[in-house]
Structure 1
Amino acid sequence: MLRKLLLPSLLAAGLLTAAAAQAETLRWARASDPTSLDPHAFNVGTNFTLLHQMYETLVNRDAKGSLVPSLALSWHMTADPTVWEFKLRPNVKFHDGSTLTAKDVVFSLNRAKGPTAQVKSLLSSMVEARAVDGLTVQVRTSGPNLIFPNNLTNLFIMSAAWAKAKNAQTTQDAASSTENFATRNVNGTGPYQLASRELDARTVMKLHPQYWGRGQAPLQVTELIYLPIKSPATRIAALLSGEVDFAQDVPAQDVARLKLDPRLRISEGPENRSIFLGLNVGGKELKYSSLKGRNPLADPRVREAMHLAIDRDAIKRSVMRGLSIPSGIIAPPFVHGYTKAMAAYPKVDVPKARKLLADAGYAQGFDLTLHSTNDRYVNDEAISTAIAGFLGRVGIKTTVVARPIAQHSVAINNADADFYLFGWGVPTYDSAYIFDFLVYTRGKDGRGPTNATGFSNAAVDADIAALASESDKTRRDAAIQRVWDVVQKERFYIPLHDQMVHFASVRRLNIPVHPENEVHFKDVKFEAR
């Protein structure tokens, strides 16, 4: 059950106020711990959800997916269509007591665009950020970027003075084990400030006493304890026993029985996230296979055979217990550019898949390693095991190697995988985000950091780059469709399904599902006991 934060000394003195009497500690469990607290180092949803409690962004999204003010009270494109202007909220305090200014925003945007920042693709169109005055920031883009504010919902604002004093002006390098002060320490403007952190065990956050949102947000959670519990069974057992109050990453197989427990509340809804397979189509040979001197994944017939071999309906039925939305595109319906036609997926056709493999010269099949997470997506390892079974029916002998997201994400960012399970959320709600990270030529022009497939196409790159500066919506939409046409045809990603989100909590908590699988605990309320 939820624990009251009783303050004995205040009680003895008779000074406990009504507000303090309602103070609550909330224990929050997830499947994995963030890879870092550096706000710009990793582009990983698990990191973002925790960091949103301590850092803040200029704009944010509410539970309906709409853009709402955060540190920026307003924003607009100026008379110059290449310049966006943001008016900042006054009297915002960092956790160390210093005041937020436009210079902090400029510093943070430039830091997030640095060479070791995984989030830099979000700012690929930014040419310059400047402080007009203490509370006004202007950002110049390479062209009239119609959706620039959409890119800012996970770009956290740091204190420039703190980062410089702590030698954390540049981000932690996600491709190495090198850390900086921001890896394990936080000085944000968010509602909660870091009290303690034990990696892979516990992170404790306490209410920021100078938080600007007092009187605007409920702020009923005054202490937030984050508990990474990798084992799904252990995580759910902790909820059922009262050791935790709220659990994310609920296994699909447990949802039905949890709904029957009168002590619990289960919220559900579609997530803005697609689950898919990535294929190394650019390598001369596979790194994790006994087959040498050739790369079967470079042959489009092999990729199409794999596409036809996978039974998405069986995954939904047997692995996801009905709690997934099979799809033929790596974009969920929330995303601009998605169409139902592209989301159609083929029926399983084993004979045709075998013929395609034979035509490609692999009548006897080949062996392949499927790298997967085991603590990030709903039933991720079980999905991968099912994929291995489906591919085995057509002669592709697949070994599953499952690992934590902390290791998996580094490997993907280093393009160290031939065949891998991955998931991708789209916080901008626009196809350009998918293209910038997953389709653009890796490392070119600061884009493509998560494109581990080796796919590269100059014409596609040109269309993607143009999306950030195209002012005509019709032409922009046409470019989006051209890119999707290539992605769908080349099949270097094999879509599986869109993920469903389930939140499980004690009955007193009512936390609606957010499309980004996020929770902003400053808004959480407790019902009467």
Structure 2
Amino acid sequence: MQKIGPRAALRATACALALWAGLAAAPAGATTFTWATANDILGLDPHANNHGVTNAMKSNIYEPLVRREADGTLAPALAERWETPTPTTWRFHLRRGVTFHDGTPLTAADVVMSAERVRQNDMAYVLQSVARVTAVDDHTVEMETRGPSPILLQDLTLFFVMSKRWVEANNAMNVARAGQPGAATAFPQLNTNGTGPFRLVERLADERTVLVPNPSYWGAAQMNHGITRAVFRPVASAPTRVAALLSRELDVMYHVPLQDMPRVQQTQGVRVVSGPTARTIYFAFDVARAESLDEPGKPNPLQDVRVRRAMYQAIDMNTITRVILRNSTSASGLPIAPAVGGYVESLAARLPFDADAAKRLLAEAGYPNGFRITLNCPNNRYVNDEAICQAATAMLQRAGIQARLNAIPFGRFLAGGANNEYQFWLLGWTPGNFDLTNPARELLGEGSFNWGKFNDARMNELATEIGTLPLDNPRRQQLAAEYWTRYRDLVPQIPLHQEPQIFAVRDTVADFTLRVQEDLELRYVRMRGN
């Protein structure tokens, strides 16, 4: 691991002080909460950018019908109750007296418009089982599903409701995610009008996002955060983030670099809060492209399952876990965590590391001398993401593959993936509905993050049937076992590990609750003295 010397530490501290000097002093009696992560949110449009940090920020400003609590349970949000008159009809009764930040009352028309709008882009999965949404009256909405959908409530936890009046007044019906034309200047990416506990007062991309409490929030009586101003700062440099924390310019930092854990833990007034997540880090392949990107004119070697299996078995995950991740994580052979519905423990072991077997498989596939391939990787999103990719590149090279690394900031990385620029890449995924059906669609089916265009008819059939079965139906787990068995046979991905979440929290914060869905939501912070 790279060590930071005294001069580098002083430079990092100076950078941190300069970085935070731009923040205006808070009024007397105010409590400003400041937190930082390595990368910025991708925008503020609640119907675009299915990204953990971005979704957490949306949750401060906008609300769904049903909310996922920090412990993973579901709770009423904009819908105070619901029932299912038929197996394919869900009736939601909206909470009375709710207003958007501009004072406009919430009605069923807002939900219907939001359902139409969200289907345009990468958040469409939240209504994947819904055929139509209709308003029964101003405070009642019905959703008709294409078949029985026992997990609909879980899907709806990231279905954020927007104001129909506001969207229409600002000509904001179209949805563009980061990297798409018009996204950077789209009105809903820079402005907000939700019903949530906080409202936006300032947004400077890659610098800061500033929120203040919503004085008209319907749930204000249950809020106990003590925050009068919340400032989110993206800071790409890990040494600068740590220096800002240690100089008391931050209340919370995420992620804590593993190499800095001992120093942070020994700092007076700072505590480390950590736990497991439902996020799996994995490598994925483009299996649809006929021609190699790295060797134009030659066939794409990744279309051969023997090549994909060879690359899987060339990677020594035990060494990566021990050396790079410092035993902070759990290696996995599935792209979902134990907390996710459809997890099958008996199929979760990784394929064994075996460099000799990898070489034999490559020779059998017609690549005894390997081939050229680029591993594309973000360098500021996941725990030691670039270091993992560096290690994997070296391991592939030892198996005879001429691998090279392309590590870039997360925003640019996402744009490249969406533009079909990669054949081999690293990504992390937390299923938004905490169920197998989410990655089955988003990563391995018709979803927008299936960059490699993997498609298997039998896996699609299994996922569809799984989505119609209640979570406690024994057949559901049987089908999940068949699904993951086929996944392991076809090797569309190389699962790596379930990432931990590690926050550093200053003593200015009295209570800080980890969310199973990771990242930070302000309702789960309580400042000291409150």
When the two structures are superposed, what TM-score results if normalisation uses the length of structure 2?
0.91
Q: Per-residue displacement from partner, 1:244-294 (whole Å, max 9, x unpaired)?
A: 11111222222232112221011110011000000112211221x136321
Cα distance between partner residues in 2 of 1:43 and 1:165: 25
- Which residue of structure 2 lines up, in the alignment, with residue 17 of structure 1? none
Cα distance between partner residues in 1 of 2:385 and 2:54: 18
Per the TM alignment, residue 466 of structure 1 is displaced from its structure 2 partner at its CA by: 3.4
Cα distance between partner residues in 1 of 2:460 and 2:348: 23
Per the TM alignment, residue 64 of structure 1 is displaced from its structure 2 partner at its CA by: 1.3
Identify which of 306, 313, 324 aligns with 2:318: 313
Identify which of 292, 296, 308 aligns with 2:301: 296
- Which residue of structure 2 lines up, in the alignment, with residue 152 of structure 1? 156
| Structure 1 contact 118–174 (Cα < 8 Å) conserved | no
Identify which of 140, 143, 146 aligns with 2:147: 143
Letter in 2 for 1:144: P
Identify which of 90, 107, 113 aligns with 1:107: 113
Identify which of 128, 135, 138 aligns with 1:131: 135
Per the TM alignment, residue 483 of structure 1 is displaced from its structure 2 partner at its CA by: 2.3
- Which residue of structure 1 lines up, in the alignment, with residue 382 of structure 2? 377
- Which residue of structure 1 lines up, in the alignment, with residue 292 of structure 2? 286
| Structure 1 contact 291–367 (Cα < 8 Å) conserved | no
Identify which of 241, 261, 271 aligns with 1:235: 241
- Which residue of structure 1 lines up, in the alignment, with residue 505 of structure 2? 505
Per the TM alignment, residue 475 of structure 1 is displaced from its structure 2 partner at its CA by: 4.0
| Structure 1 contact 63–514 (Cα < 8 Å) conserved | yes
Pair 1:461–1:323, CA change in 2 (3 A): same
Q: 2:208 matched to 1:202? A: yes
Identify which of 18, 32, 40 aligns with 1:33: 40
Cα distance between partner residues in 2 of 1:381 and 1:212: 43
| Structure 1 contact 125–469 (Cα < 8 Å) conserved | no
Identify which of 27, 46, 49 aligns with 1:42: 49
- Which residue of structure 2 lines up, in the alignment, with residue 444 of structure 1? none
SS, match of residue 153 in structure 1: helix
| Structure 1 contact 191–211 (Cα < 8 Å) conserved | yes
Letter in 2 for 1:450: F
Q: 2:265 matched to 1:265? A: no
Letter in 1 for 2:528: E
| Structure 2 contact 225–527 (Cα < 8 Å) conserved | no
- Which residue of structure 1 lines up, in the alignment, with residue 447 of structure 2? 448
Cα distance between partner residues in 2 of 1:503 and 1:251: 10
Cα distance between partner residues in 1 of 2:53 and 2:409: 12
- Which residue of structure 1 lines up, in the alignment, with residue 14 of structure 2? none
Cα distance between partner residues in 2 of 1:81 and 1:38: 32
- Which residue of structure 1 lines up, in the alignment, with residue 519 of structure 2? 518
SS, match of residue 85 in structure 2: coil
Pair 1:214–1:369, CA change in 2 (3 A): same
SS, match of residue 487 in structure 1: helix
Cα distance between partner residues in 1 of 2:376 and 2:75: 38
Equivalences for 1:384-399 in 2 at 5 Å?
Answer: 384-399=389-404
Per the TM alignment, residue 170 of structure 1 is displaced from its structure 2 partner at its CA by: 2.4
Identify which of 170, 173, 176 aligns with 2:180: 176
After the TM superposition, which parts of structure 1 deviate over 4 Å for at least 4 consecutive aligned residues? 1-8
Q: Per-residue displacement from partner, 1:353-381 (whole Å, max 9, x unpaired)?
A: 11111111111111110000111111111
- Which residue of structure 2 lines up, in the alignment, with residue 163 of structure 1? 167
| Structure 1 contact 122–433 (Cα < 8 Å) conserved | no
Q: Per-residue displacement from partner, 1:458-515 (whole Å, max 9, x unpaired)?
A: 2322333334445693444443333222211111100000000011111231312211
Cα distance between partner residues in 2 of 1:249 and 1:57: 27
Pair 1:7–1:412, CA change in 2 (3 A): closer
Letter in 1 for 2:198: Y
Equivalences for 1:370-449 in 2 at 5 Å?
Answer: 370-440=375-445, 447-449=446-448
| Structure 2 contact 343–480 (Cα < 8 Å) conserved | no
Per the TM alignment, residue 201 of structure 1 is displaced from its structure 2 partner at its CA by: 0.5
- Which residue of structure 2 lines up, in the alignment, with residue 466 of structure 1? 465
Identify which of 224, 232, 255 aligns with 1:218: 224
Cα distance between partner residues in 2 of 1:130 and 1:495: 40
Larger displacement relative to structure 2 (62-71 or 477-486): 477-486
What percentage of residue pairs aligned between the two structures are identical?
A: 36
| Structure 1 contact 217–523 (Cα < 8 Å) conserved | no
SS, match of residue 439 in structure 1: coil
- Which residue of structure 1 lines up, in the alignment, with residue 12 of structure 2? none
Cα distance between partner residues in 2 of 1:202 and 1:344: 41
| Structure 2 contact 379–409 (Cα < 8 Å) conserved | yes
Cα distance between partner residues in 1 of 2:409 and 2:99: 36
SS, match of residue 272 in structure 1: coil
Cα distance between partner residues in 2 of 1:480 and 1:172: 34
Q: 2:387 matched to 1:345? A: no
When the two structures are superposed, what TM-score results if normalisation uses the length of structure 1?
0.91
| Structure 1 contact 285–292 (Cα < 8 Å) conserved | yes
| Structure 2 contact 78–95 (Cα < 8 Å) conserved | yes
Letter in 2 for 1:123: L
- Which residue of structure 2 lines up, in the alignment, with residue 494 of structure 1? 494
Letter in 2 for 1:517: E
Identify which of 362, 387, 397 aligns with 1:357: 362
Cα distance between partner residues in 2 of 1:249 and 1:363: 41
- Which residue of structure 2 lines up, in the alignment, with residue 188 of structure 1? 194
SS, match of residue 60 in structure 2: coil
SS, match of residue 486 in structure 2: helix
Q: Per-residue displacement from partner, 1:102-127 (whole Å, max 9, x unpaired)?
A: 2111211221112xx10112212111
- Which residue of structure 2 lines up, in the alignment, with residue 443 of structure 1? none
Larger displacement relative to structure 2 (506-515 or 185-194): 506-515
Cα distance between partner residues in 2 of 1:505 and 1:470: 41
Q: Per-residue displacement from partner, 1:48-84 (whole Å, max 9, x unpaired)?
A: 01111111111122221111222222233x2311011
Cα distance between partner residues in 1 of 2:131 and 2:225: 38
Larger displacement relative to structure 2 (272-281 or 118-127): 118-127
Equivalences for 1:58-69 in 2 at 5 Å?
Answer: 58-69=65-76
SS, match of residue 242 in structure 2: helix
Q: 2:90 matched to 1:84? A: yes
Larger displacement relative to structure 2 (278-287 or 455-464): 455-464
| Structure 2 contact 85–91 (Cα < 8 Å) conserved | no
Cα distance between partner residues in 2 of 1:151 and 1:6: 39
| Structure 1 contact 121–448 (Cα < 8 Å) conserved | yes
Per the TM alignment, residue 143 of structure 1 is displaced from its structure 2 partner at its CA by: 0.7
Pair 1:152–1:5, CA change in 2 (3 A): farther
Larger displacement relative to structure 2 (172-181 or 316-325): 172-181
SS, match of residue 393 in structure 2: helix
- Which residue of structure 1 lines up, in the alignment, with residue 5 of structure 2? none
Cα distance between partner residues in 1 of 2:101 and 2:528: 29
RMSD: 2.1
Letter in 1 for 2:82: W
SS, match of residue 392 in structure 1: helix
Cα distance between partner residues in 2 of 1:351 and 1:173: 43
